[in-house]
Amino acid sequence: MIATASAPDQNDRATAAGALALAREVLAIEATAVAALGARLDERFVAAVDLVLACRGRVVVTGIGKSGHVGRKIASTMASTGTPAFFVHPGEASHGDLGMITHDDVVIALSYSGESDELLTVLPLVKRMGARLIALTGQPDSTLAALADVVLDTHVEKEACPLNLAPTASTTAALALGDALAVALLDARGFGHDDFARSHPGGRLGRRLLTHVRDVMRTGADVPSVSERATLAEAVLEVSKKRMGMTAVVDDAGRLVGIFTDGDLRRSLERGGDIRATPITAVMTRHPRTIRPEALAAEAVELMEVRKSTQLPVVDASGVLIGALNIHDLFRAKVL
C-alpha cells in the first residue's frame, strides 16, 4: 500500500499563521526603531562626521557580543567607502591589541547599555593616549557616554524579541546609524565610482566597475565588416562567417556608416528581391548606436538593454570602426 502525504492539520496551519504574524511584528518593530533614529539626529551626528573627517589616523571600531558583530560590519563598510577603518575586539585590546590604537585615531565604541566591562576597561586608556571617542549607545547617561567626545543615541523603545531581551531592534538601529555615518563620510569625501572600483576589485561588482569595452571587444579579423559598396549577399556571408548576428558597414576610410543585422535580413527577405544585386546600403540600418572603447562594459550592457539589441559596434572619436561587442562577450567576461 502506497502511503500518501496527509494535508496539514489545523494545528500546523495555526503554527504557520503564528510564525508569519510574529515575523511581521519583528519587522515592524525594527522598522519603527530605525525610523525613530532619523527624528533624533542632530548636531551630534554632524560633530561625529567632522571628528572622523579631521582624523589623521584611522577609525577603530570596537564592541563586545552582538555589538561587536555590528561593529565589524560598520568598520568594513567604512573601509570600503573611503574611510580607513578596522575592528578591534575589546577583550583582545586588554591583552596587547591596544597597541593597534594611536593618539591620531578616532575610536567608535558600541554598547547598548554603555556599561560593558570589557569596553570600560580599555577606553579610559584610549582616552588617556589622546584618541577621540564616539559612542553608539542606547543609554546617553551611561559610563560610556560620559567618556565619549560625541554620543550617538541608539535607544529603542523595545526589542523585537518577545521576551524583550535578545538584542534585535537595538542592533538593527546601531547598524543603520553606522551605515548613515559611513554614507555621510562617503559623501563628504567626494568618494565616487572610480574610488569604489579601486576598493572592490574582486567579484562581479569589481568586474562591472573595472572592465572596459576595450577589454572584452572583438578586434581585427574577428570584427564583422563589409564595404558600403558590398551587396546584400556579401553582407549575409560576413554575418554567417563571424557569428555575431550582424556586420558593420564602413566607408573607404573605415568609418562606420551603418549596421546590418539578422533582423534587417529577415525584413529584406520579406520584401523579396535579388540578394546578389541588392546593395547593402539599401537595407542596412543607418546611424546605429555605438560605443567607445574607453566606456565601461556595464554601460554597453545598459545600451543593449535599452535598445533591445545583442551587439554594438565600437568606434573611435573619428567614428572609425575599431571593434565589435556581443552580449555573449559580456557573459564570458562575467560582466552580466
Residue 207 is assigned to a structural domain of this protein: no
CATH number (domain holding residue 115): 3.40.50.10490
pLDDT at position 1 is 45
- Per-residue pLDDT, 7: 53
Q: What average pLDDT does this structure show over 117-133?
A: 95
CATH number of the domain to which 261 belongs: 3.10.580.10
272 and 165 housed in the same domain: no
The residue behind cell 538593527 is: 172
Whether 2 is in a domain gets the answer no
301 and 164 part of one domain: no
Whole-number pLDDT of residue 150: 97
Q: Which amino acid is at 69?
A: H
* Count of the separate structural domains present in the chain: 2
In a domain? residue 16: no
Is 33 inside a domain boundary?
A: yes
Check if the beta carbon of residue 321 is closer than 8 Å to that of residue 250: yes
Residues 145/114, Cβ–Cβ less than 8 Å: yes
**Pairing, β 59-63 against β 85-87:** parallel
160 and 233: one domain?
no
336 or 125: which leads in pLDDT: 125
Short-list 252, 225, 231, CA closest to 322: 225
155 and 138 in contact (C-beta within 8 Å)? yes
pTM of the model as a whole = 0.66
- Identify whether residues 136 and 237 lie together within a single domain: no
Query: Quick one: cell of 7?
Result: 494535508
pLDDT > 70 fraction of the chain, expressed in percent and rounded: 91
Query: Do 46 and 173 fall within a single domain?
Result: yes
Which run of H or E residues covers position 321? strand 321-326
Confidence of residue 4 (pLDDT cuts 50, 70, 90): low
Is the C-alpha dihedral spanning 20, 26, 27, 29 positive or negative? positive
